[in-house]
Structure 1
Amino acid sequence: MLTDELYEETMDTQTYQIIVSPHQKSLRLDRFIAESIPRISRTRVQLLIENGHILRNGQVIDKASLKISPGDILTISIPQRRPLTVEPEMIPLQIVYEDDDLIVINKPPDMVVHPAAGNRTGTLVNALAHYCTTLSTAGGYYRPGIIHRLDKDTSGTIIAAKNDVAHNEMARKFEYRKIEKYYLALVWGTITPSSGVILDPIGRDPSNRKKFAVVPDGKDAETRYEVLADLDFLSLVRLRIITGRTHQIRVHMAYSGHPVLGDSTYGGRTKKLKSLKPRQREKAVQVLDCIHRQALHSYEMFFDHPRTGEPVHVRSTLPRDMCEVLQILGYDGESLC
């Protein structure tokens, strides 16, 4: 039997409208819809909610746990699906570490981690499927080997598993925060104090559900930072994320007034230019010409090997665009690049 993970959405949509009966007992929204529409799972309903496909009384729903009320009008738009296949592709990989259980890649910017609608090819998974004899299946059919993810435009260290034993053990390490994860970022401004901890909770942005924000009812999030260099109007920062919230570093740095350089989603592209002196502005424009994504890089990780228990340290050098920015700003980043 095929699972939800074996499919991708198409442009064709089937729409249902359900009016909640006056006699209907109170249920969670996801449970009620799953029980009301044939052959749809609660997991699929939750994905539909996450992607904005379910309305209650004309308003987009953002929580599967909401309780239905008599008289509610629910509109459910279900994109039709087709089987998703993973095609092995001969794509060059920068391998940082490899053994019989794990392979660690320095992912370039602009590479999607796994296939999905609109990105069937050119992903890290397509490259791994060509390079590796075996990959774990614990993450799902179209995510062989993938234990964790990086945003498309975030570069750097990403770990894949070659078998399910390694996958499950590494997944537990990520879940229980047994892996030390460090990032390097170029952010706007001078950060004071030069080291610290950001603990603001993160959730969906109430004004734009495709973004995330610091919100009172968000999930706990912890980011530790250390400034490595004050680069006039930018700072080079080393960050350790204790939690793993979506866009965590980008949201926390933007909220602190120091958005990641190049991050157009969270105010890190040109928004800061007007606050600069003319001399700084000229150099900032030069810097922005070099980088067309968020200047965020998964730099290094420390963990115990899933099979042997031996300590492992993996590190990925900075990509060309961030190295060019450092060069423009006169910073000797040879050890990082």
Structure 2
Amino acid sequence: MIEEAVNDDEQDDELFEHHRIVADPKQSLVRLDKFLMDRLPNVTRTKIQGGIEEGFIRVNDKIVKSNYRVRPADIITVSLPQPPRDTDVKPENIPLNIVYEDAYLMIINKPAGMVVHPAYQNWSGTLVNALAYHFESLPEMPGNTGRPGLVHRIDKDTSGLLVIAKDEDTLTGLAKQFFDHTIERTYNAIVWGIPDPPSGTIDKNVGRSLKDRRVTTVFPNGDMGRHAITHYELLQDLRYVSLVQCKLETGRTHQIRAHMKYLGHPLFNDAMYGGDQILKGTTFSKYKQFVENCFKALPRQALHAKTLGFVHPKTKEWMQFECPLPDDINDVLARWDNYVKYN
């Protein structure tokens, strides 16, 4: 149940590189699965073929088939969803924006650019490293080992609210609410275009893309992926872009980003989902320069976890939190508002 909750939110679902093999300059042409049989100890050919089919094994960062013939200087990478090694979390004195804290839990307003937990290429400087330092000064409590309990996550370039449990009972209680989808979460996002109708519900399965497992895609027929529901509402019409509120009923990986793209409105400057291109507007060079300046002012997907509501596992009281939009999103909204007024 806890595993479901922790992995069940609008977070990055990255692949972590475990092996990188560079073919010899004089490498003879040989099938990829056979090539790897000699280089990956204790791995069967069946598992290698399965990894190739799933997209975990790539050649020159491209998905290939098992019968691909390795060529000289080819770069073969084996990447998996989990990090290649476990690492003790090192406490780091990193400032935290703590919205609320009591003896059982805390609410954090995570800035964009901060990775939530240590992983491949990000073993330090994460929210968990900061929490570990913070928890060192806390009194010992039953079930508190000095390490925070992540109940859910948001991805590196999404800002906003996260709840952290301080003991096992609180962790379990919060995790059950995530599992039962009784947690209330709303996000604000700048998207390309104006949704029509201005409010609605996207009830479409989402799952890893069959072409690129780093990306979440919508399976409209419901034959693949996991059930996902996003309620959206237009908040501000800015002609070429708009500010929308997305309320999660479920919280799958990249759910909002995938659902809004499916609706025809990718998040502004969301490189993974095509929002870093000019998708609406004119062909004038002045407009293109304006959009490029907005991209520079907001160098990430325009997504912010704005509200969070749940029943406190100990007091049984309803807790509701809200944090304002960060400066980078407010700045770009002001730029667009000014642009549409005078152009």
- Please name the residue that 1:276 is paired with: 282
* Deviations 1:193-241, CA, capped at 9 Å, x for gaps: 1100011211111221221111232211100001111012111001101
Give SS of 1:313's match.
Answer: strand
What is the aligned partner in structure 1 of residue 312 from structure 2? 305
Q: 1:18 to 1:330 in 2, by over 3 A?
A: closer
Alignment-mate amino acid for residue 114 of structure 2: M
Q: Do 1:136 and 1:164's aligned partners in 2 also have CA atoms closer than 8 Å?
A: no
TM-score for the superposition, normalised by structure 2: 0.73
Q: Match for residue 295 of structure 1?
A: 302
Residue of structure 1 in register with 2:41 after alignment: 15
Give the structure 2 partner of residue 174 of structure 1. Answer: 178
CA shift at 1:89, angstroms?
0.7
1:104 aligns with 2:107: yes
Residue 145 of structure 1 deviates from its aligned partner by: 1.6
Q: How does 1:311-322 map to 2 (within 5 A)?
A: 311-322=318-329
Residue 125 (structure 2) pairs with residue 126 (structure 1): no
Which 5+ residue runs of structure 2 have no aligned equivalent?
A: 1-15, 21-38, 69-77, 339-343
Contact 1:154/1:295 (8 A) holds in 2: yes
CA contact (8 A) 2:132 2:146 kept: no
Deviation at residue 50 of structure 1 after TM alignment: 7.2
> 1:186-201 counterparts in 2 under 5 A?
186-201=190-205
Q: Give the distance between the partners of 2:139 and 2:248, measured in 1 at CA.
A: 30
**1:154 maps to which residue?**
158
Distance, in Å, in 1 between the alignment partners of 2:143 and 2:56 is: 28
What's the CA shift for 1:9? 7.3
Amino acid at match of 2:256: I
| 1:274-303: CA deviation from partner (whole Å, max 9, x where unpaired) | x53536444322211211110000000111
- 2:260 aligned to which of 246, 253, 256: 253
Residue deviations 1:71-115, cap 9 Å, x none?
A: xxxxxx699955411111111111111111111110000111011
Q: Measure, in 2, the Cα distance between the counterparts of 1:103 and 1:314.
A: 11
Given the alignment of the two structures, is residue 235 of structure 1 paired with residue 242 of structure 2, yes or no? yes
Do the aligned residues in 1 keep the contact of 2:132 with 2:147 (CA within 8 Å)?
no
Q: Secondary structure at the match of 2:272?
A: coil
The letter for the 1-side match of 2:282 is L
Q: Which residue of 2 aligns with 1:74?
A: none
Q: Distance between the aligned counterparts of 2:296 and 2:225, measured in 1?
A: 35
From 42, 52, 56, the equivalent of 1:52 is: 56
TM-score (norm 1): 0.74
- Root-mean-square deviation (CA, aligned residues, Å) is 3.6
Change (3 A) 1:19 1:272: closer
Cα contact 1:115–1:143 (8 A) shared by 2: no
Contact 2:188/2:305, CA 8 A, preserved across alignment: yes
Q: Which residue of 2 aligns with 1:224?
A: 231
Q: How many residues are matched?
A: 285
- Partners of 1:248 and 1:59 in 2: CA distance: 34
Larger RCO, structure (CA 8 Å, separation 6 or more): 2
C-alpha separation in 1, matches of 2:305 and 2:253: 14
User: In the aligned structure 1, how far is the partner of 2:263 from the partner of 2:142?
Assistant: 39
The one-letter code of the counterpart of 1:269 is D
Change (3 A) 1:203 1:135: farther
| Partner AA of 1:162 in structure 2 | K
Separation in 2, partners of 1:134, 1:119:
29
Runs of 4+ in 1 over 6 A off after TM superposition: 48-51, 54-57, 77-80, 134-139
C-alpha distance 14-171 of structure 1, shift in aligned 2 (>3 A): same
1:85 matched to which residue of 2? 88
**In 1, Cα distance between the equivalents of 2:148 and 2:67?**
37
Residues 181 and 301, structure 1, Cα contact 8 Å, conserved in 2: yes
Query: Which residue, out of 302, 324, 335, partners 1:328?
Result: 335
Native 8 Å contact 2:204 2:229 kept in 1: yes
State the Cα distance separating 1:315 from its structure 2 match.
Answer: 1.2
Which stretch of structure 1 is more off in the superposition, 91-100 or 208-217? 208-217
